[in-house]
Structure 1
Amino acid sequence: MYNRKTYTVEEATLKLEQYCAYQERCHQEVRQKLQHMHMIPEAIEIIIGHLIEHNFLNEQRFAKAFVSGKFTIKKWGRRRLTLELKKRDISKIAIKEALATISESTYLNTFHELAEKRFEKIRESDPYKKKKKLIDYLLYRGWESHLVYEKAYELIQ
């Protein structure tokens, strides 16, 4: 048999405080980390309660940081951001608040820049195939379909 490290509740709490202080985490990530540390369910609940109480774990703060980072760096649209936050069991209220931090003008400017930049990069002679590649790319990134199709038709014309 192999020896695996065991943790007391205090040791695990300290370790998770450092884990949460390093970067914003969602409840799901913390729960998985504790399960990976082989903590029992009662201990997991105690530790998560402690982290929330001492503001190491905050769903709204995580959602806002996630939206800000993925929108700014990866240029994800609202649909993809919403889907990814739902995967992490973030509440609808927190998702709505986080998405509200993106101004409409910034959102549209980012979309237009991304679409035009990608359109220039696509090396395809057939305009229909080029349009299809652009549409697929933008939809994958989570941009709303009405924006994507309008922009695709605008760029192809």
Structure 2
Amino acid sequence: MDGQKKIKITDEKVALVKAEHFCAYQERSQQETRDKLYEWGLYPDAVERVISELIQGNFLNEERFAKAYTKGKFAQKAWGRIKIKQGLKFKRVPDVLIKKALQTIDLDDYHATLIRIIEKKVATLTEKNELKRRYKLQQYAMGRGYEADLIADILKTSQL
């Protein structure tokens, strides 16, 4: 690890203060925070107490995290709902909160973003065969986390 010494924290109060800074810096999921506490060397019962304190102090809020993650990945990286959902599942966010967070994406923006990433990809393709071009566009958009039926609709209705 690039010359840095691993920090070991066994004092619960020190860990709580450090975890508060960790959570205040950017929205975190409970799992990310839990992993960080274990990385610092805290024991399981202490980790759960610190997590509980962070939730009570509103440093940790899974719903707020899910919405911020969704907004960020959609706005910054133009990810589709499928990829965002996978990312949230990986962070062990409950399904009900994932569903709620995904509903915050405006449908018009979602369609416009999908059209924009497809148009951007069209500009880079050299494929002459129409079917192969469409297939490549569909695969690209699916890789970005967009739904196959939505991609197909857009490819049918737009002149790409």
Q: Paired residue for 1:138?
A: 141
Classify 1:5/1:83 alpha carbon distance in 2 versus 1 (closer, same or farther; 3 Å): closer
Count of residues paired in the alignment: 156
Determine whether 1:93 maps to 2:128: no
**Residue 136 of structure 1, CA deviation:** 1.1
Q: Paired residue for 2:83?
A: 80
Contact kept? 1:76, 1:143, Cα under 8 Å: yes
* Superposition map of 1:1-157 within 5 A: 5-154=8-157
Unaligned runs of 5+ in 2: none
**Residue 57 of structure 1, CA deviation:** 0.3
In structure 1, the residue corresponding to 2:64 is in which secondary structure? helix
Contact kept? 1:139, 1:145, Cα under 8 Å: yes
CA distance in 2, matches of 1:114, 1:3: 42
1:117 partner letter: K
1:125-146 Cα offsets, whole Å, 9 max, x none, are 3333322221111001110100
Unaligned runs of 5+ in 1: none
Contact kept? 2:9, 2:15, Cα under 8 Å: no
Q: Alignment RMSD, CA only?
A: 1.9
Q: TM-score, normalised by structure 1?
A: 0.91
